[in-house]
Amino acid sequence: MRTQVAIIGAGPAGLLLGQLLHNAGISNVIIERRSGDYVLSRIRAGVLEEGTVQLLREAGVSQRMDAEGMVHHGVQIAFREQIRHIDLSRHADGKTVMVYGQTEVTRDLMAARAAAGALSLYNIPDVSIHNIESSNPSLQFTLNGERQVLECDYIAGCDGFHGISRHAIPAEIRCEYEKVYPFGWLGVLSETPPVSPELIYGAHSRGFFLCSMRSMARSRYYLEVPISEQVEDWSDDRFWTELRSRMPESVASTLVTGASIEKSIAPLRSFVVEPMQYGRLFLLGDAAHIVPPTGAKGLNLAASDVNYLYRILVKVYHEGRTELLARYSALALDRIWKAERFSWWMTSMLHRLSANPFDHRVQLAELDYFTSSEEGLQTLARNYVGLPYQDVG
C-alpha cells in the first residue's frame, strides 16, 4: 500500500486533516485503533473558535454546523452571587464562538470522508511507525490477520494523548512539559433545556461549575470534583443538588433537571511536547498537547495544528516548498503555548486551588478585575474566541 500522507487517529485532528488534504488532491489513509462508533461515543468539546469554524467550512463539512450550531456572542462568569456578562463580540473585534459538539463535528467529517471515498481503517490496534528519519517512512499494522506496510511521504500523528506517535521522537530530542491538577471535571449530559442561553463559568467556595449545552433541548454541565472521586458515587440527584448549591440563587431557581444520558469524570492536565516534528513525522492535537478544558481550547488547538500542517503540505506538494516543513513545529507551538497559558489561567482563576482564605480572596479580586475593566475584558474575550493564525510563509 502507498499513500502521500499516512494519518494515525480518526479524532477531529486526523479526520479534518484528511478531508482538507483530500480536497487539495493529496492522498491520505487514516488508521484508527478503535471502531467508528466508539470514536463517536466520546462526549467532549462543545465550543468552536471562529478559526475552527472557518476551517470546517473550507473543508466543505459545515452544512449541518451552520444550520444547527449556535453562534454565541457572549459568555457569563458567576462568582459570589453575581453574574458578569462577557460581551465577546464587543471586546474581541466582533468575533463569536460556535456551540456545536465535537461528536457532531466528528460525525460530519466521517460522513464527508465516506462520501469522498477516502480510505479509513478502523479497529487497528497495533500500528507501528518506521523510518521517519528517511525519505520513505511507513506504518505497519495487521489487517484481517495479514501484516501490512503502508508506505508514505509523511506521517501525521493525530492519535491523542494515549497514542504512540510522540514516543517515536527519540527521548534525547523530545522535551515534555506537564502539570497535573488535583481535581477533575464530573460531566453530565441531559435532555433538558440549558439553564441560560449563554455558557456560565462559575467560581464557588465548593468548587467550579460550568453550564454548557449541545442544543436548546440538550444541556451539558460540569462540576469540579477531587480527582479521587468515583463516578459511581454520583447519582443524578447528588449531581443536581451539588450543582444548584454552587449556582447563584437566580440561576439555581430556573435549573431544569432530568435523567443523565452520559456521566463521566475527566482529569485536568496541562501538557506540551516539543518539538512537534521529527524527520517525516508530525504531531497534531492531543498527541502533542493537552489543556484543561476551562478555556475550551483542546479541539480548537487540534484544528489550529491542522491549519498549519495542511497549508504547509499544500505548498510542499503544489509549489515544491519543502523548506516550509521545518517551520511547522515553531508555528504551531507559538499558538499552543498562548492557549496553554490561557487555559491554565482560567483554571486557576475559577477552581478551588487551595483551602487558604487568602488565595480565595485573591481569586475574587482577579475575577472582579477581569470581568469589569476594559483591558481585563479584552484579554479574556480575545483569548476565549481564539488568537489569530499566522501565515505559513
Complex with ligand PHB: residue 99 or 152, whichever CB lies closer: 99
Least distance (Å) from ligand PHB to the CB of residue 253? 23
Least distance (Å) from ligand PHB to the CB of residue 293? 4
Residue 293 contacts ligand PHB per CB under 6 A: yes
Q: Which of 158, 189, 203, 210 binds ligand RFL (CB under 6 A)?
A: 158
Asked if residue 226 lies in contact with residue 181, where contact means CB atoms within 8 angstroms, the answer is no
72 is catalytic: yes
Asked if residue 6 lies in contact with residue 155, where contact means CB atoms within 8 angstroms, the answer is yes
Residues contacting 356, CB < 8 A, separation 6+ = none
Continuous segment of H or E residues that includes residue 237:
helix 236-246
Q: Are strands 97-99 and 47-48 parallel, antiparallel or unpaired?
A: antiparallel
CB atoms within 10 A of CB 199: 23
Mapped onto helix, strand or coil, the DSSP state of residue 110 is helix
Please name every residue paired with 59 in a beta bridge, in sequence order, or none if there are none: none
User: What is the grid cell recorded at 260?
Assistant: 443523565
| From 22, 289, 297, 351, the catalytic residue | 297
Q: Among residue numbers 34 through 93, which ones bind ligand RFL (CB under 6 A)?
A: 34, 39, 44-47
Q: What is the dihedral of CA 12, 98, 383, 292, to 10 degrees?
A: -50
Asked if residue 250 lies in contact with residue 216, where contact means CB atoms within 8 angstroms, the answer is no
293 is catalytic: yes
Phi, psi dihedrals of residue 182, rounded to the nearest 5°: -80, 10
Residue 21 contacts ligand RFL per CB under 6 A: no
Least distance (Å) from ligand RFL to the CB of residue 117? 21
Binding mask 30-59 for ligand PHB (x = CB under 6 A): ---------------xxx------------
Least distance (Å) from ligand RFL to the CB of residue 222? 7
Mapped onto helix, strand or coil, the DSSP state of residue 199 is coil
Q: Among residue numbers 266 through 305, which ones bind ligand RFL (CB under 6 A)?
A: 266, 285-286, 293, 296-300, 302
Dmax (CA) of the chain: 63
Out of ligand PHB, ligand RFL, none, which partner does residue 18 contact, by CB within 5 to 8 A per kind? none
Complex with ligand RFL: residue 152 or 368, whichever CB lies closer: 152
Question: How close are the terminal C-alpha atoms of the chain, in Å?
Answer: 32
Please name every residue paired with 187 in a beta bridge, in sequence order, or none if there are none: 222, 264
Residue 190 contacts ligand PHB per CB under 6 A: no
Nearest to 199 by CA among 91, 86, 79: 86
Least distance (Å) from ligand RFL to the CB of residue 11? 2
- Does residue 388 have a cis bond before it (omega within 30 degrees)? no
Binding mask 360-389 for ligand RFL (x = CB under 6 A): ------------------------------
Least distance (Å) from ligand PHB to the CB of residue 186? 12
Out of ligand RFL, ligand PHB, none, which partner does residue 157 contact, by CB within 5 to 8 A per kind? none
Out of ligand PHB, ligand RFL, none, which partner does residue 351 contact, by CB within 5 to 8 A per kind? none
Residues contacting 235, CB < 8 A, separation 6+ = none
Residue 296 contacts ligand PHB per CB under 6 A: yes
SS (H, E, C) 275-298: CCEECCEEECHHHCEECCHHHCCH
384 is catalytic: yes
| From 100, 154, 181, 201, the catalytic residue | 201
177 is catalytic: no
Out of ligand PHB, ligand RFL, none, which partner does residue 129 contact, by CB within 5 to 8 A per kind? none
Asked if residue 299 lies in contact with residue 12, where contact means CB atoms within 8 angstroms, the answer is yes
Q: Which of 294, 304, 347, 383 binds ligand PHB (CB under 6 A)?
A: 294
Binding site for ligand RFL (CB under 6 A): 8-14, 31-34, 39, 44-47, 102, 127, 158-160, 162-164, 185, 187, 266, 285-286, 293, 296-300, 302
Binding site for ligand PHB (CB under 6 A): 45-47, 199, 210, 212, 220, 293-294, 296
